[in-house]
A and B are shown apart, each in its own frame.
Chain A
Amino acid sequence: MKHWIILLFGCAIFAQNDSIQQLDEIKLYGNFSKKMTAGYHVVILKKDSLKTTQHTLGNTLQNNANLYFKQNGNGMVSSISMRGSNASHTAVYWNGIAINSTLNGQTDFNSLSAKGHNQIEIRKGAASSVLGSGAIGGAINLRDKIRFNSKKNLELNASLGSYNTLHLFLKSKISTPKLYAKLSVEGNKSNNDFPFLNTSLLNENGAYYNHHINAVFGYRINPKNKLHLYSTSSYNNRNLSRSLTAPSNAKYINSEKRVLLQWLNSGKKYSSNAKFAFLNEDYQYYLNKTNPTHAVGKSNNIILKYDFSYLINRKMHTKIGLENKFLYGNGSNIDHKSQSNIENYVSFHHQPVNKLNYNISLRKGFSNIYKIPLTMAFGMTYQLNPTLNIKSNISTNYKLPTFNDLYWNHSGNENLNSEHNKTAEIGIQFKHNIIDFTTTTYYSKNKDLIQWRPTNSFLWKPVNIQEVSNYGVDLNLALKHKINHHLFEANFQYDYSISKDNHLQKQLIYVPFHKANSNFTYRYKTLIASVNTQYNGFVFTTTSNTQTVNAYWLTHLQFYKKLNTNLNIGFSINNLFNKAYQSVAYRPMPNRNYNLNINLKI
């Protein structure tokens, strides 16, 4: 199935953050830019590694950035754990707007597409004081870039994979010195009925269909003022597949709509960015797809956001921000609930000497429902010598209770408080000729984590009770070597994470101790061959750490051939060694499968 391709079409998959700065033509520093991330490790997936991917966002990140996802079966709901944190402790943004579900606080990475966006920015580590609620394990930003540069192009990408897996992607872009317009449409469909290896079962009831439409417009009023409009609409219709022990007849339909209007104004010393966003999420769950009875849920968010950057001098820069959110949720289990909150932050960046730059930030919010704590962060990057940087940061962070936690009929707890986190990390980056090596070690302490617990008569209720310590190491190594026309690239990533419930003294379920990923790419003239190998360590499935999902190795192969300047074709073999493996217990993932794709660019 195409979801398992790894593809390295283009340059190195993670360029370090110095490449971002030059993109900011005006002096507005995004929250993932160098000036705002001193002391943090930021990974950027560029458009070259996104444009030919056939995957969902989750698989793209898993194959390229060594992130761990817990997938409830292939194509089913997929949640992330960054640095051993839980699924709602990775904050996901879309052009700077937080898009984690208002209802459950998580993001389903199989519901999002990687492709419509120009780049994906991954900021590892805790950064609530700049980014807001939930940025604890890390944060991911899906970014659409607008440039006024008189270019136009049309891209078409079609692929056909095993089990009737179809993928179509069309993108058109027009840009003039005054105007910018981009439209992308993507559709995916699969029977997803692969056989479960070593059994007589198939992945029954696994069919899915989804589409994603992105439209982006830009208008340059004058050199100082620009208007940007981003909009996206996605629709996912999935049957929820069977497990090894239970058949399923369930169906889940979810859709998201988002609109963001942004006015950028900049002068010589300042820039200002006013945003208005409307977000809508909606789901329907059918326990039995042949029966019309179903559960529903939806939320609407209105977000007003204002960021102002001011360049005090060439070495000092400050940014302040204000964000006002109006949230509304309703559905079978939530009865017309709404809340509003307002959050403010201030951040200061300074480069006192060439070798050192640091960032301090402070954030405080207010809500009509719960207390939003004061949080702060300090991060610094110090250049020991031209090849070696030291990065370090320390921060306090938080996550707000979700609508499900607060308002679930009969069970929700309106007295819930925010979850609290403290994190410190230190790492080095070594860059020399062909080598780019980064390693970071971190320690993080979480308290007041919200956990649903059975009460008398087995009614479950959420309470601020769990304490978790996380610590571990990330390693990233990128090598690039060219001999005549032969280009070799290698990327290796390894994460070790301990995530321990302090009361039970046990590792959290579905957090692997070990996770590794490698990509080797070879290019020769018009040919590209790449191999992706992943290792997923075992995970515990019981809180007593007595049962596990086994570790597995996974290998994907990919070939590309450029036929002419406009056209290339690709072929991939996923799960090359036909390994039987599971991400979630009793939910087998696809066996060996194939994908053929064709890519046209005019």
Chain B
Amino acid sequence: MNKLTKLLSTITILLLLQSCGDDLPVENPPRGDYEHGYFIVNEGPFSNGSGTLTFVDNDQEVYQNVYKSVNDNEDLGNIAQSMYLHSNSAFIVVNNSHQIIVTDRYTMAKIAVIEGTNINNPRFFVAVGNTGYVSNWGNATDPTDDFISIINLETNTISGTIEVGEGPEDMLVVGDKIYVNLQGGYNQNNKVAVIETASNTLSTSIVVGDVPNSIVKDSNGNIWVLCGGKPNWTGSESVGKLVKIVGQSVETTLDFALGDHPEHLSIDGGKLYYNLSGKVRGLSTNDTMLNTDEMPGLDGNYYAMKAENGMLYTTNAADFASEGTLSVFDLSTSTLSYSLSTGIIPTFISFQ
């Protein structure tokens, strides 16, 4: 549905409701066109272009170029990487424009741009209370200048930085701590950095496996880190690992076979899911061994993958020079529920 029609019909319904007298229950007015559904962040062409946002509402209606259409035809920026929803705002990390675009999370209207020398090759965003955290590679060829920028969310300005090891990527908030995967950027790292949000300091770096690429927490507050291992082309290939962290120490490590490089760990309903060589595998958080069963019907080198509410959301970047696709599978039956066209290189999925 066209957004204007949607808005007009909403207004009409509201007017109708009002004219019907006081005895009818008044629903909360919608907070914006993008309140119910999820976003897909599309990187856009690798050079010479702009990333885009695709929105899918609860009726599976698809809206392309959401940011641009709401904000006066303005481009999102070059290589949109990820998105974080917090309070009433959305924070879109635009890697090669070296910017964080802040919008209203329901209307997607632009509020601010966070940029400066302390946003350099930004990757991911998380927030705790009134403070935001951005993982940054710095200069991609310099392994020693990587950092987390600290953002004051009241003013949307950078208030400081915390130095971390090479290649900070995905981050996870657990209570008053932030766990940062040090994936390694252009190289390969093997740690998870722990940030204390009370003092905004690095408390420790936990050695996990090589190339930690995704991180989730289960309902007991345990942290699961999936490490892809060093790829073959590095000349020092290493095994992938699934690492369970309790507090600030590694409790268990499950090793993959040499040559297997898993990625895209996510959690839904007490079950962990990840992708390995184009197949999806799952295991329970109580399992003490890796399950080698592949989920039937779920084949593909997914560019992004996320399990949510019994569904598995996967993206395919096709030839990386045209529109990608999103396919959603029912996890209970491993069947395709629906698929749709996205922007160019769909890299991240973010649920309202």
Residues of A within 8 A of B (CB): 72, 243-247, 287-288, 291, 293, 409-411, 453-454, 456-459, 509, 541-544, 546, 584-587
Q: What is the chain B residue whose CB lies nearest that of A73? A: B48
Q: Which of B50, B319, B320, B344 contacts A586 (CB 8 A)?
A: B50
Indicate if the CB atoms of A453 and B48 lie closer than 8 Å.
no
The answer to whether residues A293 and B142 also contact, given A246-B97, A542-B321, A542-B322 and a CB cut-off of 8 A, is: yes
Set of chain A residues within 8 Å of B141, measured between Cβ atoms: 287-288, 291, 293
A291, B141: Cα distance in complex, Å: 9
A410, B230: Cα distance in complex, Å: 13
Q: Shortest beta-carbon distance, A539 to chain B, in Å?
A: 12
| B residues 30-85 touching A (CB-CB < 8 Å) | 45, 47-50, 75-79
Set of chain A residues within 8 Å of B321, measured between Cβ atoms: 509, 542-543
Indicate if the CB atoms of B323 and A586 lie closer than 8 Å.
no
Set of chain A residues within 8 Å of B231, measured between Cβ atoms: 457, 459
Q: What is the chain B residue whose CB lies nearest that of A409? A: B233
Set of chain A residues within 8 Å of B107, measured between Cβ atoms: none
Q: Which of A458, A543, A546, A586 contacts B48 (CB 8 A)?
A: A586
Indicate if the CB atoms of A291 and B278 lie closer than 8 Å.
no
Contacts A454-B317, A542-B322 known; list 10 others, CB within 8 Å. Answer: A244-B75, A245-B50, A245-B96, A293-B141, A411-B233, A456-B277, A458-B301, A546-B323, A584-B48, A585-B45
Set of chain B residues within 8 Å of A459, measured between Cβ atoms: 231, 233
Q: Is B352 an interface residue (CB 8 A)?
A: no
Q: Which of A246, A293, A542, A546 contacts B77 (CB 8 A)?
A: A246
Set of chain B residues within 8 Å of A457, measured between Cβ atoms: 231, 261, 277, 301
The number of inter-chain residue pairs (CB within 8 angstroms) is 79
Indicate if the CB atoms of B322 and A546 lie closer than 8 Å.
yes
B-side interface mostly: loop
Q: Shortest beta-carbon distance, B330 to chain A, in Å?
A: 25
A453, B301: Cα distance in complex, Å: 13
Indicate if the CB atoms of B78 and A453 lie closer than 8 Å.
no
The answer to whether residues A543 and B319 also contact, given A246-B97, A247-B97, A459-B233 and a CB cut-off of 8 A, is: yes
Q: Is B140 an interface residue (CB 8 A)?
A: yes
Indicate if the CB atoms of B278 and A456 lie closer than 8 Å.
yes
Residues of B within 8 A of A (CB): 45, 47-50, 75-79, 96-98, 139-142, 231, 233, 261, 277-278, 301, 303, 317, 319-323, 344
Set of chain B residues within 8 Å of A243, measured between Cβ atoms: 47-48, 78
Set of chain A residues within 8 Å of B47, measured between Cβ atoms: 243, 246
A287, B277: Cα distance in complex, Å: 32
Set of chain B residues within 8 Å of A245, measured between Cβ atoms: 49-50, 75-78, 96-97
Set of chain B residues within 8 Å of A584, measured between Cβ atoms: 48
Indicate if the CB atoms of B97 and A542 lie closer than 8 Å.
no
A457, B262: Cα distance in complex, Å: 9
Set of chain A residues within 8 Å of B277, measured between Cβ atoms: 456-457
Q: Shortest beta-carbon distance, B27 to chain A, in Å?
A: 38
Set of chain A residues within 8 Å of B96, measured between Cβ atoms: 245-246
Q: What is the chain B residue whose CB lies nearest that of A286? A: B141
Q: Shortest beta-carbon distance, B302 to chain A, in Å?
A: 11
Q: Which of A293, A409, A543, A585 contacts B322 (CB 8 A)?
A: A543
Indicate if the CB atoms of B320 and A247 lie closer than 8 Å.
no
Q: Shortest beta-carbon distance, B167 to chain A, in Å?
A: 15
Q: Shortest beta-carbon distance, B72 to chain A, in Å?
A: 13
Q: Shortest beta-carbon distance, B227 to chain A, in Å?
A: 14
Q: Which of A244, A287, A411, A585 contacts B139 (CB 8 A)?
A: A287
Set of chain A residues within 8 Å of B78, measured between Cβ atoms: 243, 245-246, 586
